[in-house]
Amino acid sequence: MTSLKQNVITYFERCLAEHGDSAKGVDYNGPESQFQRFQVLSQIADLQGATVHDVGCGLGHFRDFLVERGISAIYSGSDIAPGMIEQARKRHPEAEFFNRDILELPVEDLPQYDYLVCCGVFHLKAENSDEVWEEFALSLIERMFRMAKRGVAFNMMTDLVDFKIDRLFYANPSRIFDHCRHNLTRRVTLRHDYPLYEFAVYLYK
């Protein structure tokens, strides 16, 4: 697991160094697709007044999205990349940011939030195999659900594509849906209806 995470940290720290405070700095093609993803994930529920924790928060751009749309959520974020958290704290000193891996937190000490949002974390597998990355993804989804009082929203690249890029992870939407339905909650929504090569899942308590 250590090498898995280090591959990802190295990749994203390089993106940040090359592109700075931008969508490309957190490995999105541009702000349009980044904010389109935010729009879909934010539709899990009415987030006004809710505690929202952004897992893999990068530079805190989801906080920008919420503020620009007048959504007064109580936002916090966490990321395993130290450089990302350092910059996020500078951008949003009013918010809490944690340089931590929630998979390493003791179960009895897990913080609780109304909603957890995870945008783009599962897209990049870096130098990891599909099998290893899927195991990591399912573990992180389970951990987020443990931390949620109300629900979890996350996205993944879909395997329904014309071509694949080696560094990306393409998941089978039905497989992910069934895993969540059988192991976490029957209250699952699968969204494969927006114009990006990915899907989103909402999990409700």
User: Which residue bears the tokens 């990355």?
Assistant: 133
Residue 32: pLDDT over 90: no
DSSP 25: G
Beta-strand (E) ranges in the chain? 51-55, 74-79, 96-99, 113-118, 148-158, 170-171, 188-191, 198-204
Residue 23: pLDDT over 80: no
DSSP 155: E
Side-chain half-sphere exposure of 196, counting CA atoms within 13 A: 22
Our count of domains for the chain comes to: 1
Look up the domain containing 7 and give its range: 2-204
Is the model more confident about 17 or about 129?
A: 129
Residue 176: pLDDT over 90: yes
CA–CA separation, 70 and 81 (whole Å) = 28
Are β-strands 170-171 and 148-158 bridged in parallel, bridged antiparallel, or unpaired? parallel
Give the mean pLDDT of 4-19.
Answer: 76
CA–CA separation, 61 and 67 (whole Å) = 10
Question: What CATH code is carried by the domain that includes residue 73?
Answer: 3.40.50.150
